[in-house]
Structure 1
């Protein structure tokens, strides 16, 4: 009996670890936590990303990368504060209307001080996908930065109502609201 319980517990732990590992690189899991720095943001020049197979920096528009990898590079570079490099990675993505591309264009515009452009990108992202938690979180942070706390709280309520409780999107916006409008990111 004890051995059977031990095996079951071990199986659950291994399965959970596999899910966590898969989530760390899954482009569909992009709004649950900030990206981990890799050689893309640590070593590569603007317009390049790390290619694991060749173990070197390669032009981000090279055929070795697919669009989810380019999006991940853009996201990582944006979090590293390398906005110009992030734009180059976004520019290399085929579908410029992908809601994640629009979200990160909004994020980059907001961080660069162009609130008007940020609003346009966030609006386009949310019109196409009202459940885009990252767009809602970043929009909420921008609203809070500008003193519109009520509108930011509305975005937090939307995140929660769309299944975003306990996600990075909720926590980041909540931290911004608790700070009085100083954006978490």
Structure 2
């Protein structure tokens, strides 16, 4: 039979353990894998080798290369991100097209970025992140009706509490100021 002090210690461990995972999940962007470490230009991080390797076609599986490209884009290394996406065996996946659109838009080529977003949406209409980025591109162009349409679609995909909905709603609201 457990003593009262043992039960309290176990309960405290469960509570503290659960609390420790909440910030980690919140920081992860709704289930996205954590970003890989980034390497010098022309290199890509290989989790298998736990090191940076030369960036070339086939150096990593496409999914890893795609995530690495996105990590570069989130660090404002947009052209490097596009260069990584050029190395994919299959560049026509929803994520790869979305990230290509993101990096392209951030380089100031909004219309071209939209073309990639639309290709991504055609492949996966329920991909909330691409709809957020597409909506943000429409905000840049002043097309708030189209941005609001993307916001409404995101609401049907993941509700009003998901990061994609909140970010696009904020971008739309900020554009009105």
Q: Which has the larger radius of gyration?
A: 2
Pairwise mapping of residues 1-185 of structure 1 onto structure 2 (< 5 A)? Answer: 3-4=6-7, 7-8=10-11, 10-11=13-14, 13-14=16-17, 17=20, 29-30=31-32, 39-40=37-38, 43-45=39-41, 47-51=42-46, 56-61=51-56, 65-180=60-175
Question: For residues 124-176 of structure 1, what are the alpha-carbon distances to aligned partners after superposition, in whole Å with 9 as ceiling and x for unaligned?
Answer: 11111111111101110010111111211111111111015333222221221
Tell me the SS of whatever aligns to 1:29: coil
Aligned length: 174
Which moved further from structure 2: 153-162 or 110-119?
110-119
Question: For residues 68-88 of structure 1, what are the alpha-carbon distances to aligned partners after superposition, in whole Å with 9 as ceiling and x for unaligned?
Answer: 221221111111111111012
Tell me the SS of whatever aligns to 1:162: helix
**In structure 2, how many angstroms separate the alpha carbons of the residues matched to 1:118 and 1:181?**
23
**In structure 2, how many angstroms separate the alpha carbons of the residues matched to 1:154 and 1:79?**
25
Which moved further from structure 2: 93-102 or 107-116?
107-116
> Cα 1:3–1:75, aligned 2, differ >3 Å: closer, same or farther?
same
Structure 2 gaps, min length 5: none
TM-score of the aligned structures, taking structure 1 as reference length? 0.75
Any conservation in 1 of the 2:58–2:89 contact (CA below 8 Å)?
no
TM-score of the aligned structures, taking structure 2 as reference length? 0.78
> Cα 1:53–1:126, aligned 2, differ >3 Å: closer, same or farther?
closer
